[in-house]
Every structure is written in structure tokens, then in C-alpha cells.
Amino acid sequence: MSKLLIVEDDFVQAEGLRYILEDAGHEVTVVPDGQAALQKLEVDNQFGAVLSDVMMPGISGYDLCKRIKTDYKHVPVILVTALSELKDLIGGLLCGADNFITKPYEPEELLGQIARVVANQEKPGAPICDPTTGVCLIDNKFMMNMDRRRILDWLVSTFDEFLKAREKHGEARLEERRRRIEEREKRLTAIVAGVIAKLEKSDETLSHVIEKNQLGHQQKIELENARRSCREALECVRKEKDTALV
């Protein structure tokens, strides 16, 4: 397990991270902002990774990452952020972060990211860097000094985030479809209940007319036929309703 430094100004978020990481066996230190993180690193920079929020008062997560990569190149930095737009991805690349994970996240996902970053850092051999590496995004070319392994890690993480976003979009569409189906079922149930009520009322009225009035033979036959048709229709609607609810 690794010794990790969490940089998070939100107490609840910080303690949530601490719980997940300590439960997995990591040794965790929490600081509330970038300045406190730099002061901690001056005393002890032997961390397996730094997990930093991006939007913080004072020193942002991007600026903190740049400082760490300048003064403590051996310390990996993972940005933990709710930001997920392209400009945020570019900001993470340019500041030199080793990886990123977006909120909300699953604990297994977070632990997997940390394990990959720490494992890559511990691999023997110097990273292969190319100071002329460039990435073209939205008609702008961004130059960065990145080793190929870290570029691959970023590509994998970005693809993971894309899959998460697509899955969430699909779940949202399914939820909307389910909601519409439920609303349609409620309307149909109300309509069927109304039809049943009217048929029951018609049957009651016909029965009352037949029983309480002196009717000719032909009239009685016609009303009996009408009542029979009404009851058949009522029974049919009830059966269809019961079948639909199964």
C-alpha cells in the first residue's frame, strides 16, 4: 500500500476520500489547500501520489501540480475534479498531472487509478520524453513535455471517462423512457377505470329498468340483449385490464 497526500478544501469530500483510501490500506495525510500541501512536501516528499482537487481557494490544483512537477518530479499527481470539459482536460495535460478522475466516482475506480499511477512510477527505467510532443485540439496546438507512458495513461483515462459519460447518457435516456411509459400506463389505467365505471352504471340502469317497469315482450328481449352486451363488454374490459397488469 502507498502513502498518499490528499489536497481538498471541502471537509466532507476530504474525509470521504480518507475513508476509502484508509479502508483499502493506504496511509493518508489530508491538507486543506495547495499552500499547506507545498509546506507538507517541504518536510516530507516521499508520497506514492498526491490527490488534489482542482477548484480551491488560493493555489489551484493546476498550479499546485506545476509546482510539484517542478520541485518534486518523482511524486505523481492525480487530479480529482468535478470538471469534465475539454478545456479542463487540456489544463490537466499542460500542468503535468499524471492522471485524473472525475467526480462522482466509484471507490473501485479511484483505487484502480491510484494503483496504476503508483505502479507506473515504480517501473524501472527513465521515461521516454520528447520535448517537441504536441497535441492539436480545437485548431490549437499545445506543446508539452510528456513521456509516452503518461500520454497512454491519459488516453486510457479519457476513454474511461467517455465510456462513463456515454453510460450515464444511456441510463438517463432509459430513465426518461421508463418515466414516459409509467405516465402512459397511469393515463390508460384511468381511462380503463372510467370505461368500467360507465359500463357498470349502464348495467345497473338496464337491470333497474327491466325489473321495475312493465315491459312488452319485445322490449324486454331488446333490453336483455343490451344488458348482456353491456356485461360482456364489461367482462372483456376487466380481463384485458387484469392481463395488462400481469
Q: Are 62 and 54 in contact (CB under 8 A)?
A: yes
In a domain, 133, yes or no: no
Q: What is the mean pLDDT of the chain?
A: 76
Domain end among 103, 124, 145: 124
In a domain, 131, yes or no: no
The CA-CA-CA angle for residues 216, 217, 220, to 5°, reads 85
The reported pLDDT for the residue numbered 100 is 81
Domain end among 105, 124, 143: 124
Which helix (H) or strand (E) element contains residue 36?
A: helix 34-43
Percentage of residues of the chain with pLDDT beyond 90: 25
Residue 118 shares a structural domain with residue 40: yes
Q: Averaged over 147-176, what is the pLDDT?
A: 62
In a domain, 139, yes or no: no
Task: Give me the phi and psi of 115, to 5 degrees please.
Answer: -60, -40
| pLDDT: which is higher, 138 or 175 | 175
Separation between Cα atoms, residue 23 and residue 110, nearest integer Å: 13
Q: How far is CA 230 from CA 223, 224, 240, in A?
A: 10, 10, 15
In a domain, 89, yes or no: yes
In a domain, 99, yes or no: yes
Residue 93 shares a structural domain with residue 16: yes
Task: Give me the phi and psi of 47, to 5 degrees please.
Answer: -105, 145
The reported pLDDT for the residue numbered 41 is 95
In a domain, 137, yes or no: no
Question: In CATH, what number is assigned to the domain containing residue 42?
Answer: 3.40.50.2300
Which helix (H) or strand (E) element contains residue 7?
A: strand 3-7
Separation between Cα atoms, residue 194 and residue 237, nearest integer Å: 11
**What nine digits make up the cell of 151?**
500520454
Residue 101 shares a structural domain with residue 194: no
Residue 27 shares a structural domain with residue 96: yes
Residues whose CB is less than 8 angstroms from the CB of residue 220 and which lie 6 or more positions away in sequence, other chains included: 210
The model's pLDDT over 60-117, given as tens digits with 9 standing for 90+, comes to 999 999 999 999 988 999 988 876 555 666 677 778 888 888 877 888 888 988 888 8
The reported pLDDT for the residue numbered 132 is 45
Domain count within the chain: 2
Q: What share of the chain is helix, strand, coil (3-state, %, to 5)?
A: 65, 15, 25
The model's pLDDT over 5-39, given as tens digits with 9 standing for 90+, comes to 999 999 988 999 999 999 999 999 999 999 999 99
In a domain, 57, yes or no: yes
Separation between Cα atoms, residue 45 and residue 37, nearest integer Å: 10
Task: Give me the phi and psi of 96, to 5 degrees please.
Answer: 95, 15
Residue 13 shares a structural domain with residue 102: yes
Give the residue numbers spanning the domain of 191: 181-245
- 128: pLDDT strictly greater than 70: no
**Side-chain-side CA neighbours of residue 169 (13 Å):** 6
